[in-house]
Structure 1
């Protein structure tokens, strides 16, 4: 039967579209699915028959059905299975074309799930479970045929209990949702400066003191001394997992097809360890550094002792050791580290770090395990057995894969879920960045620059949830969902089947599922977003409006300077304007405004397309559109990563050549501030004018009035309006960078 079904569906065109299928809103989208009219009543199946290997999964299904009425029956041979009912059958080797695939058939005879392994059976079972959860009628299942398998073997999520401790019941709940959406790896960041979170019997101070800090919130602790306190003191904030709790959590996850990967930071991000075991620091003193002393043999003794206990708790093939963001200055001046470098003929501190990583890799390989590290472990050379987790963009992953190393992609640009997911001005504070749902969905883990024969080294992708600004588990849920559902489809479904509008439609059904599971997910915003395309040939702006709502018909807008009402123009399609215009738009629900008014300045100004000279360069990290950025007529959006905000680490100093004398009455430029990642307003914005391009006279300065104590996103238009116009061919713009961070500008506007 299984082989026959594979053959049948293998010849069908993908994807198969039918009216019935449109109502089956599975996430992630199955590889092949055919739905037919009809449904199977579950009341007709009081018995679940399963192969002996899948009996535990039968129990798992009854738990999700929340019913004690089911009777379980173990059946050894396929011919002995009942002809009707719910049947979980282990596929025989001669039936299986693909060892990673399962088949699921629901028809008048009931449910037939066939899978060659326990893992594929788990994946098929959770398809069945999800069908039950999204179906409005919980007493029946729709008729369908599915053959399904993952596109990538590694499908990961990450939690950060170090920065803010997460209780076990929440992690179990998180695992439950991960399983529904076919994730199979949970990466737990158990140690960092903010707190050590796992019991190590050989080093009790790690949980007696290093697990407890002086402030509840990470930001308060970070800004006020970063002290650790003994467990039991009045201000102690933190916690840890006992080894027994961790083992129970591992078993809980494994039952649902999820592997837990522990991360024990090395050689950096270890302030909490060195506070209680200062002999492991180069200085020998607590609170002086976050990096282990590589030249001290006790460092490796400590790490091996810790890992020995971790290996007994976590059976994961992979063990994560961090390896990122080491401040190597301590090693450069440490007598022990320098002595080790001489003995091992290490040329620099990068090679010293590589030596340390290779020691850990050798230890883990001797225990039959594999090391994972962040992409910094590439610096100085990497041992053959290590796997790279690429977070600083994709370049580290590309280098590693082309060199023959396995890679897990988790680039900050697309998969850091501690970034804002909508307009930062409307959201709780986080570290910065901007990663909306559509951006997550657009990601594909295999970059084109990876050689064809090396693409198999990309194991999959993982989202990270760094919790510096996630003070409780409700905030973790808010940042994780529904973006993690987008990632589930990135990892599971074929690239060619992805379609964001179709995903967004299916997602509407899953909001009910998340509500029923008590998930504090991010609700789609009523805010009106916009994109303006400038046509340099027609001197026109085309405005595109949208919202995160599935139905955009509630958008109303005006072009006359008045605030929109329910009777204003209904947005139906992009519109064009050839004159400067202020567009105002908002979302209305049942004639009531439910979102804020967005104002869009459409500028058709004198600087567009003019010659520009940079007297001081832009930052190589944020070139945007290079010379065209400030004079292309296109405004930046809500993130400095949108290729329209140009970044500067020095003062801004540019000159515009109009090629003839122009009358100048208004000069303006937009700047962005987000203090978390070090983006600030300029101290002042100055305008100078000249006829010859050499001798400039100042015509005005605008001082900054925005406080840098506000951590939220601020976009401000610095505008100089002259009492009377000034003639000149050349215009020079200077913006003072007095904070030593970034200045971001998106467009020079001249009238």
Structure 2
């Protein structure tokens, strides 16, 4: 009996080691059963797909062709499983984003209900292959082998987001597409594109050309920390044309990523006011695009002309972005100008608003009504709770979890994104050894420790937590390399928290898998941070 126990212990131990060494998948699947043996992709291997999964099969096949130097094509086969093949099979019983993957020595079978589920199966399959499969050119002598296993997988949350601020610093379309590629690799399904700020308006609006002619360019930029830095004296600008936006949206769709555009209001509006000063509280003021970081006190005035302007802007935005959500900001809106505005004070009396917080709520409710009338849903940062929550709004809780908890208790959808755990602009190691950042301190381990479902909520209330999002604010990220450095690998941790069940997550195991995963990032030419490698 003792010998049997020792043998079983050795078997279990060897399977655990086997799993650790060969199944370095991020985010970790819901269920993975390791098996002995491997499937080798060779010259005779075919990629076979049901018709509706052909595009996904082609995505896999093209990457295999790149690294192997092959020119094989996908074949369409609705029924029957060929040997020495990678198969894509329809399975109506699975959820929309779920998939199964079964790898044996004869074949690999990915089953899904939807093309999106099949796409996530491909992302997992690529991570089962050697890390060189992510290379951009042929790899001589590469053995493409998949360790045998059975995987059953589906996401924990329906909203899994990564955000990029292009208002403070502008990044080209080529990088935005690379960012979307990395979103897709990690099974995020949402890209939150922060397009307008005090420091720059970044999207073409044809009805209001001065938004980009004037609002996209600031005369100089702060170099160094707010309060101690100096200005560089160099004009800085950039914006996306509507054709470029359409191109990015189409690209994201192929990667099953929905883009949520953000048009800031009623605050963070100085770039727009520089272009159209009549929309401010002091129409005679000469506004300039904000050159420093922080929050400008120049905000939209709640006049009818302003609402007409914003509705026209949002109409063009909604024509460009087909997703259900439109983000309107709503955060950090100073009330100073509203308090001193005779128009605002009269409006408050006429509408029975007791203070400026309720005036902001009035502003947000009007925008919400317009967005809802167009068949869309509005998202706002948790300040939209002030003065009364807009009835159809989804709350993005960033100032801790309190806003999300309050919204969920009232039956509103919530996306968790607290600065304490999900702001990827904070320092990730000793600031003395790190590039300049806005401040704060957020290690990889702390990101990974985040639990999006607050214990203060009941089981039914937790159902209103749609998911979570990592935020990349770019005041101190002037280059694409810096964005990548601050984002990865912490975004890998966000991805696993968003996708994987709590029962499968373990930080020690995550870091072991991550040490292999960063080889993939390296092959994708991502400038990831290495500080976690030396963390205790």
Partner of 2:360: 353
- Separation (CA, whole Å) in 1 of partners of 2:230 and 2:203: 24
Which among 160, 185, 189 is matched to residue 180 of structure 1? 185
Superposition deviation, residue 431 in structure 1: 1.1
Secondary structure in 2 matching 1:201: coil
Match runs of 1:377-526 below 5 Å: 377-524=384-531
- Separation (CA, whole Å) in 1 of partners of 2:214 and 2:70: 46
Partner of 1:85: 85
Superposition deviation, residue 384 in structure 1: 2.3
- Separation (CA, whole Å) in 1 of partners of 2:479 and 2:385: 34
State whether residues 477 and 521 of structure 1, in contact with CA within 8 Å, keep that contact through their aligned partners in structure 2: yes
Q: Aligned pairs, how many?
A: 504
Which among 128, 131, 141 is matched to residue 131 of structure 1? 128
Q: 1:138 to 1:347 in 2, by over 3 A?
A: farther
Which among 92, 114, 120 is matched to residue 117 of structure 1? 114
Partner of 2:300: 292
- Separation (CA, whole Å) in 2 of partners of 1:235 and 1:258: 35
- Separation (CA, whole Å) in 2 of partners of 1:191 and 1:507: 34
- Separation (CA, whole Å) in 1 of partners of 2:179 and 2:506: 26
- Separation (CA, whole Å) in 2 of partners of 1:438 and 1:138: 34
- Separation (CA, whole Å) in 2 of partners of 1:138 and 1:26: 19
Partner of 1:62: 61
Partner of 1:51: 50
Say whether residues 1:548 and 2:535 are aligned partners: yes
Secondary structure in 2 matching 1:435: coil
Which among 18, 21, 30 is matched to residue 19 of structure 2? 21
Superposition deviation, residue 494 in structure 1: 0.8
- Separation (CA, whole Å) in 2 of partners of 1:467 and 1:99: 34
Partner of 2:282: 283
Q: 1:133 to 1:236 in 2, by over 3 A?
A: farther
State whether residues 219 and 468 of structure 1, in contact with CA within 8 Å, keep that contact through their aligned partners in structure 2: no
Superposition deviation, residue 19 in structure 1: 3.9
Superposition deviation, residue 17 in structure 1: 5.3
State whether residues 213 and 221 of structure 1, in contact with CA within 8 Å, keep that contact through their aligned partners in structure 2: no
Partner of 1:266: 265
Superposition deviation, residue 235 in structure 1: 4.0
- Separation (CA, whole Å) in 2 of partners of 1:63 and 1:450: 46
- Separation (CA, whole Å) in 2 of partners of 1:493 and 1:420: 26
Say whether residues 1:37 and 2:36 are aligned partners: yes
Say whether residues 1:313 and 2:320 are aligned partners: yes
- Separation (CA, whole Å) in 1 of partners of 2:449 and 2:226: 36
Q: Which has the higher strand share?
A: 1
Say whether residues 1:71 and 2:68 are aligned partners: no
Q: 1:187 to 1:516 in 2, by over 3 A?
A: same
State whether residues 415 and 465 of structure 2, in contact with CA within 8 Å, keep that contact through their aligned partners in structure 1: yes
- Separation (CA, whole Å) in 2 of partners of 1:122 and 1:16: 31
State whether residues 384 and 390 of structure 2, in contact with CA within 8 Å, keep that contact through their aligned partners in structure 1: no
Say whether residues 1:214 and 2:219 are aligned partners: yes
Say whether residues 1:242 and 2:241 are aligned partners: yes
Q: Whose relative contact order is higher, 1 or 2, with alpha carbons under 8 Å and at least 6 apart?
A: 2
- Separation (CA, whole Å) in 1 of partners of 2:301 and 2:345: 11
- Separation (CA, whole Å) in 2 of partners of 1:502 and 1:226: 45
State whether residues 445 and 460 of structure 1, in contact with CA within 8 Å, keep that contact through their aligned partners in structure 2: yes
Measured against aligned partners, the alpha-carbon deviations of 1:253-308 in whole angstroms (never above 9, x if no partner) come to 111111111100010000011111110001112339421001x1011111111111
Q: 1:138 to 1:179 in 2, by over 3 A?
A: farther
The runs of 5 or more residues in structure 1 that have no matched partner are: 1-14, 228-233, 527-546, 550-751
Secondary structure in 2 matching 1:33: strand
Secondary structure in 2 matching 1:71: coil
- Separation (CA, whole Å) in 2 of partners of 1:56 and 1:399: 42
- Separation (CA, whole Å) in 2 of partners of 1:236 and 1:97: 53
Q: Which has the higher helix share?
A: 2
- Separation (CA, whole Å) in 2 of partners of 1:221 and 1:490: 33
* TM-score for both structures, normalised by structure 1: 0.64
State whether residues 223 and 231 of structure 2, in contact with CA within 8 Å, keep that contact through their aligned partners in structure 1: no
Match runs of 1:324-339 below 5 Å: 324-339=331-346
- Separation (CA, whole Å) in 2 of partners of 1:36 and 1:498: 21
Secondary structure in 2 matching 1:105: strand
Q: 1:347 to 1:129 in 2, by over 3 A?
A: same
Q: 1:99 to 1:213 in 2, by over 3 A?
A: closer
Partner of 1:104: 101
Q: Which has the larger radius of gyration?
A: 1
State whether residues 215 and 272 of structure 2, in contact with CA within 8 Å, keep that contact through their aligned partners in structure 1: yes
- Separation (CA, whole Å) in 2 of partners of 1:131 and 1:219: 43
State whether residues 45 and 110 of structure 1, in contact with CA within 8 Å, keep that contact through their aligned partners in structure 2: no
Partner of 1:12: none
- Separation (CA, whole Å) in 2 of partners of 1:417 and 1:70: 41
Measured against aligned partners, the alpha-carbon deviations of 1:347-390 in whole angstroms (never above 9, x if no partner) come to 21111111111111111111111101000000011122110000
Partner of 1:205: 210
Q: 1:133 to 1:341 in 2, by over 3 A?
A: farther
